[in-house]
Amino acid sequence: MYFGVDYYPEHWDKSEWGEHIKLMKKANFNIVRIAEFAWGRLEPREDEFDFLWLDEIMEKLHEAGIKVILGTPTAAPPKWLVNKYDVLMRDRYGRKRGYGSRRECCSNSPDYRRRADIITEKMAERYGKHPAVAAWQIDNEFGCHASTRCYCENCRREFASALSKKYGSIGELNRRWGTVFWSQEYEDFDDVILPGYTSCEPENAQQWSHNPSLDMDFYRFSSDSWVRFEKSQADIIRKYSDRPITHNFMGHFSDIDYYKLAEPLDFVSWDNYVDNQWNHETYENSAMAHEIMRGAKNKNFWVMEEQAGPAGWDKFGGTPRPGQIRLWTYQAIAHGCDGMVYFRFKSAPFGMEQYWLGVIDYDGIPRRRYFEIQKTGEEIKRLASKFEGAVSETDVLIVKSYENTWSSKIKRNTENFDYRGILYDYYAANLAVGTDPACGPITAVSGGCKAVYAPAYSIVTDEEARILENYVSNGGTLVLTYRSGIRDEDNNMLRTTPPGALRLLTGIRLEEFDSSPVEVGVSDGFGRSRVWRDIISTETAHAIAVYEDEFYKGSPAVTVNTFGKGRVIYVACDLSGEGLLKLVRYITEQSGARYIEHPEGTEVIRRRAADGSEYTMLLNHNDKSVKTELRGVSLFDGSEFDGTLEPYGVEIIE
Ligand code: GLA
Ligand code: ZN
């Protein structure tokens, strides 16, 4: 199993490289990721390339038995590129982005794309067969530091041509978008605007919304543009190299359709920062991000950047507590991580990321964090065959849809409606109950699932409805909620009664809804609803809970419908806390899904190794020790596990 670190040889004097490599070896690192921001050093002037320094460090690493993930450096354009070509993105006010950070180039700029392909080809040609290269990373975190949506003239032109391909005639676009509204009918594809600003004073004014179909197609187009940019590099690399290709994703980030971004890649990797200047992530949030990453390709993934110290850009987040870096490492593995790379090796005393500390400090001295990683590396070396290619035994799936994320961003439903939040609530409740759910696209729904949650699935295609019908007919349990089956693929409201294509499945129909800011009780211990209530009639379903307040008192709040051999639960309102837990427990029981009881603040995950053997990983995210009922023989040292987990402790038992 690969266990390594992100390394920036170009930041240090060559004379230090030897010492760095020595420390890496001692830390048990067997791989480093390099070069993903080194464009300026690799092509200091247009078409003048300097690969000698990279040859040298690759050779040194190779001699030391350390493999390399080679990054294409296109996230950080050198100054000459920006001086010579008009490649910078435009924001929705039409303003040009400034130079000085990174990721500032437009994925539809022909000059940027050409120069990006050239440097990629040069690297692929030179290193495609290099014995040290274990994998390629394309670019770095598409969407980081920038909107994924650019409003430049290149984008406008490309958008027009994408729309012309999609709709064939402008009349068809007008019809499907409903541009008759407010006299917005277009005469030609070239006439179509980008959904930029709609106010006079960009700085302070409110942005008035656009036609929701225009917005939706622009989200799709912008996401596709990055996929195309990525694929272009992947195609070039494959001409010269048979090594696997990845890109480092950003977990919950949703402005790019990660299912599509994963397609041209051999595996997905991602960057996991639990505690930084902006976020103190809950462990549930990190667990879920890992699962989303696994679901992006339905395949184990790598962590390409794992937090190794206090982290922030202009101020620090917290420092990882003793045991936490090891805990985060095993949490990743428990959710399907097959390769672990820490960010970064040596902390940079200069540059924007002075405050993003690495494995060793500015003075180069290994301390607590280094030693914790070293110990983790030792353990992983011994247990690698158990981890690599291991799979979770869960039979519960949470469906995430990027289209529905965008649709609910464009039209929010109501102040406190949050698509990501609903997914998270259902995920976290499942984690608490102990089903350890997977996350993935609706196409991951299969006979292997006992329970599938597809909350707030607003846009549902006929094909997607068929997938769900098949699954339920054959005995599956499906959970749908309010705001499901309300829109069509053009992001318009359905002209038929919701939940549209899901109506037969749910056995209910929507009559009215209430998103007034009131609290409404839900009977039978389901708690209170605060965000949204569908007021529904049952057709073939029966209610298992009703509203306790308001003019719809007594009408169904949660229903169950038998469909074929399975059942569909429709949750007509938002539930939280104990109410949601009760629902998830009920669904777990009804569906027969697997679960493991465990103390609060812990994860207990059953995994099957590639060799067929099974084991249980126990992760204690509490700063106190906890006692579990589980017993077994520790894979770490063969001792009898007595059920006690240390603060931030990890155990793996057979
Ligand atoms: C991101 C990037 C890295 C680095 C880290 C820390 O994840 O991929 O290059 O900037 O954040 O800031
Ligand atoms: Zn652009």
- For residue 251, is it left (φ>0), alpha (ψ between -120 and 50) or beta? left
User: Does the annotation place 200 within a ligand binding site?
Assistant: no
Neighbours of 441 (CB within 10 A): 20
Q: Which ligand is nearest to the CA of 144?
A: 1
pLDDT at 202 over 80: no
Do strands 133-137 and 67-71 pair parallel, antiparallel, or not at all (unpaired)? parallel
Q: Known catalytic residues?
A: 141, 305
* Choice from 101, 141, 250 to test ligand 1 binding pocket (greatest atom count within 8 A of CB): 141
- Of the candidates 556, 518, 563, the residue with the CA atom closest to the CA atom of residue 534: 556
pLDDT at 280 over 90: no
Q: Is residue 420 very low, low, confident or very high in pLDDT (cuts 50, 70, 90)?
A: very high
Residues in the chain: 654
- Our answer on whether the CB atom of 343 is closer than 6 Å to any ligand 1 atom is yes
Instruction: Find the mean pLDDT for residues 615-639.
Output: 97
Atom of ligand 1 nearest to the CA of 273: 7
Supply the pLDDT for residue 242. 98
- Our answer on whether the CB atom of 356 is closer than 6 Å to any ligand 1 atom is yes
CA 441 to chain centre: 12
- Our answer on whether the CB atom of 140 is closer than 6 Å to any ligand 1 atom is yes
Q: Whose CA is nearest to atom 6 of ligand 1?
A: 356
pLDDT at 143 over 70: yes
Neighbours of 100 (CB within 10 A): 9
Q: Whose CA is nearest to atom 7 of ligand 1?
A: 271
Q: Which residues pair with 454 in a beta bridge?
A: 480
CB 556 within 8 A of CB 535: no
Residue 309's contacts (CB-CB under 8 Å, 6 or more residues apart) are: 319, 320, 347, 356, 357, 358, 359, 369
pLDDT at 495 over 90: yes
For 517, the token pair is 């800011």
Residue 552's contacts (CB-CB under 8 Å, 6 or more residues apart) are: 512, 514, 533, 535
- Our answer on whether the CB atom of 435 is closer than 6 Å to any ligand 1 atom is no
For 115-132, the pLDDT digits (tens) are: 999 999 999 999 999 999
**pLDDT > 90 in the chain, percent:** 96
For 375-409, the pLDDT digits (tens) are: 999 999 999 999 999 999 899 999 999 999 999 99
Atom of ligand 1 nearest to the CA of 305: 7
Supply the pLDDT for residue 205. 65
Q: Which ligand is nearest to the CA of 143?
A: 1
Q: Is residue 207 very low, low, confident or very high in pLDDT (cuts 50, 70, 90)?
A: confident
Distance CA 433, CA 578 (A): 11
- Our answer on whether the CB atom of 271 is closer than 6 Å to any ligand 1 atom is yes
For 126, the token pair is 């030179």
CB 508 within 8 A of CB 502: no
Count Cβ atoms within 10 A of the Cβ of residue 238 and give its class: 0-12 exposed, 13-18 middle, 19 or more buried: middle
Q: Is residue 198 very low, low, confident or very high in pLDDT (cuts 50, 70, 90)?
A: confident
Higher per-residue confidence, 78 vs 208: 78
- Of the candidates 4, 19, 12, the residue with the CA atom closest to the CA atom of residue 69: 4
pLDDT at 10 over 70: yes
pLDDT at 199 over 80: no
pLDDT at 37 over 70: yes
CB 120 within 8 A of CB 74: yes
Q: Is residue 204 very low, low, confident or very high in pLDDT (cuts 50, 70, 90)?
A: low
pLDDT at 201 over 80: no
Helices 324-334 and 368-387, interaxial angle, to 10°? Answer: 20
Asked whether the whole model's pTM tops 0.85, one would answer yes
CB 91 within 8 A of CB 97: yes
For 65-115, the pLDDT digits (tens) are: 999 999 999 999 999 999 999 999 999 889 999 999 999 999 999 999 999
Q: Which ligand is nearest to the CA of 147?
A: 2
- For residue 401, the one-letter residue type is S
CA of 407 to the centre of ligand 2 (A): 22
CA of 129 to the centre of ligand 1 (A): 28
Supply the pLDDT for residue 146. 78
For 160-197, the pLDDT digits (tens) are: 999 999 999 999 999 999 999 999 999 999 999 999 88
For 569-584, the pLDDT digits (tens) are: 999 999 999 999 999 9
